[in-house]
Structure 1
Amino acid sequence: MVHEPSSRPYQDPESWSELLAPRLAQFAAAARHEHVTRAAQELGVPQSTLSRALVRLEQDLGVGLFARKGRTVALTHAGRTFLAAVERALAEVERAAETVRADADPASGRVVFGFLHTMGSETVPALIRAFRADHPRVRFQLVQNYGEAMLEGLRAGTLDLCLTSPVPDSPDLVGHRLDEQRLRLVVPDDHPLAARRRVRLAEAAEEAFVTLEPGYGLRRITDDLCAEAGFRPRVAFEGEEAETLRGLVAAGLGVALLPPPAVPRPGVVELTVTAPRAVREIGIAWLDGHEDTPPVAAFKRFLLSRRGQLLPD
């Protein structure tokens, strides 16, 4: 006998997944065993509870999923169609559950860590190497980006924490200063200032500048330092990466305020800025109120322990 769906007026639910998800495993068990009692035993629920749940599922869908004969059940055509999708969905849930459990494992979990491009060649590899001396199996997903994009990643939940500059001051984020990095005025090696070791930033007031694009923390710092020196920089070129700017400087297309390079670049000279004090703060940030997994918490503690030791002298 085929169960006839209820004749009560049918209304679309606001969310099928919220309505059906708890009953999908029950449906799949009944379909697998083709017997309500055996399915109930597998699920650890009373047979009557499972029978009512299956009937309610059919009523909610408005479709008969089983042909019944006593406690034996067989799938209808609609039931077979539904089962194929349910099995895929349950398998995906299982995979997702295993993934998030693995990511949270204290010994071998995952940390999604964002950082500035200028931190990628030396600072971040050294930090991860030091951290993994005590946590050798923790996995990292590394995301290089500019500051504002990383802060949005924290808010969106796609990053666990990030190394950024300047340190954010926002009510929904937590930021801690870890270190500071001196900025240098980078000039072509044939520039009149290239014979100097030190320079006041005001001496570059008439120069063309190559800078990062608006929205980058280093661009904001450059604009602020130039304003403090009494001028507004005349921007000739904008880029997205510090080493690209060094290439533009080497080509004689301008000067730039940049952190020290990982490897000295030919064609440029890097000058110490004596006034104003040209530094950028480097800090760690995360979303306020967000609960950390054990590996994220351990890496956060490690970074905070490196205050004043993050960057080489």
Structure 2
Amino acid sequence: MGVETEALRWFQLVADGLTVTEVAETYAVSQPGVSRALARLEEDVGTPLLRRSGRVLRLTQAGATFKRHVDAFVNNLDDGLAAVEQLLDPGSGLVTLGFPLSLGTWFVPGLIRDFGRIRPQVRFALQRTAVGEPGAPSRLLLTREVELELTTARISHPDIEWRRVAVEPLLLCVPLDHPVADADAVELAAVAAEPFIMRRRPSGMREQVVDLCNAAGFSPVVAYEVDDLPTVRGFVGAGLGVAVVPALGRDVPVVLGPVRFLPLLDPGAQRDIGLACLTERRLLPAADSFRRFVVGGGANLTSASSV
């Protein structure tokens, strides 16, 4: 069997939704060349892997089965190539890192900056993880698209090692004219009668806020559900409710535009920041160095409390 590695990569891209034309443009080759390579791949495998549906190609049942093995093979091949590259130049390398949007505004940039002071030649390929079920690993980590994932909740999964690296306070966000806006700190019970702005499900942040309110003796009345923290802040600033939000590295209490952030005195008003990796996957040198940096106290350089 004379399967071409390039054909496998093109098959991956087409299977993931790119058109043959887009693949050809990405690799600066002709469209007929890509089509011929995919046809040779099907001939080598011995069955159709793709079927046409309008302008795009869809996986056949055999193609879906084959792709899982292609993904594993190409990922292992790329790991091998990267390992050799890092062996030849130990100070360099690439770290593939996933993280949620809320950590991308403060925590991740600080870690990469400070890690770069000791390993300036290491590069990062960054991917934002999608919001999923609380406590579940991202698809990016499970499919090996990233080696490491920073999370804002503890992950429980048999194939994943998760280490807490920092603790981030949760704050009460209120409009500037709110009765508690001038307080140094506040308990959630002080806003029990207020409407709340909440993240839309699924959201670990939402679940934690509900749990904190219940522990304070009330069930929050959800006035609006939104998709991200900037929108939460905007709705609070417009006087449409109050919200519990992560500190995002802010010194508190602090005023930001039309809102004020106040420390919460309620027990458990914090969230874990952790680092996750697959237990079955041996990290490449650059990724392992970054993991040891973060777990060993690199998070001290952020505004969150390290553990």
Does the TM-score normalized on the shorter chain lie above 0.5?
yes
**What RMSD, in angstroms, separates the aligned Cα atoms of the two structures?**
2.9
Contact 1:123–1:311 (CA under 8 A) maintained in structure 2? yes
Among 139, 144, 156, the alignment partner of 2:143 is 156
Deviation at 1:97, TM superposition (A): 5.8
The one of 256, 261, 274 equivalent to 1:270 is: 261
Partner of 1:290, secondary structure, is coil
Q: CA deviation at 1:308?
A: 6.3
Q: CA deviation at 1:99?
A: 8.5
Give the direction of change, closer, same or farther, for the CA distance of 1:112–1:216 in structure 2 (3 Å limit): farther
Structure 1 position 101 matched with structure 2 position 88: no
What whole-Å deviation, never above 9, does each CA across 1:36-58 have from its counterpart, x for those lacking one? xxxxxxxxxxxxxxxxxxxxxxx
Q: Percent identity?
A: 35
CA contact under 8 A between 1:154 and 1:161: conserved in structure 2?
A: yes
1:174-197 deviations in Å (ceiling 9; x for gaps):
111111111111011111222322
Determine the C-alpha separation between the residues in 1 that align with 2:243 and 2:191: 10
Aligned mate of 2:228, from 228, 241, 258: 241
C-alpha contact 2:152 2:274 (8 A) present in aligned 1: yes
Alignment of 1:5-24 (within 5 A): 19-21=1-3
User: Partners of 1:164 and 1:147 in 2: how far apart?
Assistant: 11
Aligned to 1:289: 280
The structure number with the bigger radius of gyration is 1
Corresponding pairs, count: 227
- Gaps of at least 5 residues in structure 2 are 5-43, 47-72
Q: Which one of the candidate residues 81, 94, 97 is aligned to 1:110?
A: 94
Residue 99 to residue 205, structure 1, CA distance change in 2 (3 Å): same
| Residue matched to 1:140 | 124
Change in Cα spacing, 1:142 to 1:198, as seen in structure 2 (3 Å) is: same
Change in 2 beyond 3 A, CA 1:61/1:114: closer
2:242 is matched with: 255
State the distance in 1 between where 2:281 and 2:77 align.
19
Tell me the residue number matched to 2:52: none
- SS state at 1:289 partner: coil
Structure-1-length-normalised TM-score: 0.65
Task: Return closer, same or farther for 1:61/1:131 CA change in 2, 3 Å cut-off.
Answer: closer
Corresponding position of 1:232: 219
CA contact (8 A) 1:114 1:163 kept: yes
| Contact 1:201/1:276, CA 8 A, preserved across alignment | no
Residue among 187, 194, 219 paired with 2:181? 194
Q: Which amino acid is 1:111 matched to?
A: V
Conserved? CA contact 2:152–2:273, under 8 Å: yes
